[in-house]
Amino acid sequence: MSILNIKTRDNQANYIPGEILEGVISWQLDGVIEALELRLIWFTSGKGDTDVSVENTQRFNAPSLSGDSAFRFVLPTAPHSFSGQLISLTWALELVAIPGEESERCEFSLAPDGHEIMLPKVENPDLEKIPKWLKNKLQKHSNGALENIVAQSTLIQSNTIQDDVFTSTTSSSAHDATDKPFSS
């Protein structure tokens, strides 16, 4: 099994939008591979479907069996790292050996003050106040559960991150180990 490692400068884990994220990757491989790819990604996790977006990549072609290399990314301005009741949005660096399934992930926060935004818990929500168009939109993302609709609607109305969460188009499947469907 290969050893892949990602180390950010000074082990920094909190970043603000537009900041430089730099560090060093190192590796010890079992055999020859085509490339190592470092991906700057964000993904959501929680009650609903998972969204993943690859924002940037750096490729290291034909790497030697062991070595290290510096990397540098300029972080985008959005979306911000956050956690609510239903969804967390997490930024990460992912180092992937190509071909193969070996990878290493290093998570970090991207937010205006560098720390993940914690959304408050919703108590006694009032369903009647939610517009119909919003209910329909949320229904799609919450498996139809009414309480989810309420919680997410509050999230969507009270936070500017909403569009990044609900309009992202890249969706990952938990079953990625097999061939991707050519229709979904």
21 touches 15 (CB < 8 A): yes
- For another protein, which is the closer residue by CB, 68 or 147? 147
Instruction: State in angstroms the smallest separation of the CB of 24 from another protein.
Output: 26
Instruction: State in angstroms the smallest separation of the CB of 141 from another protein.
Output: 11
- Closest by CA to 93, choosing from 41, 19, 163, 28, is 41
* 3-state SS assignment for residue 48: coil
Instruction: State in angstroms the smallest separation of the CB of 10 from another protein.
Output: 24
Task: Write out the residues near another protein by the rule CB under 8 A.
Answer: 45-50, 83-88, 90, 118, 121, 143, 145, 147, 173-175, 177-184
Peptide bond into 120 cis (omega under 30): no
- For another protein, which is the closer residue by CB, 128 or 179? 179
Residue 125: phi, psi to the nearest 5?
A: -70, 150
Kind of pairing between the strands at 35-46 and 87-98: antiparallel
- For another protein, which is the closer residue by CB, 23 or 84? 84
Instruction: State in angstroms the smallest separation of the CB of 136 from another protein.
Output: 12
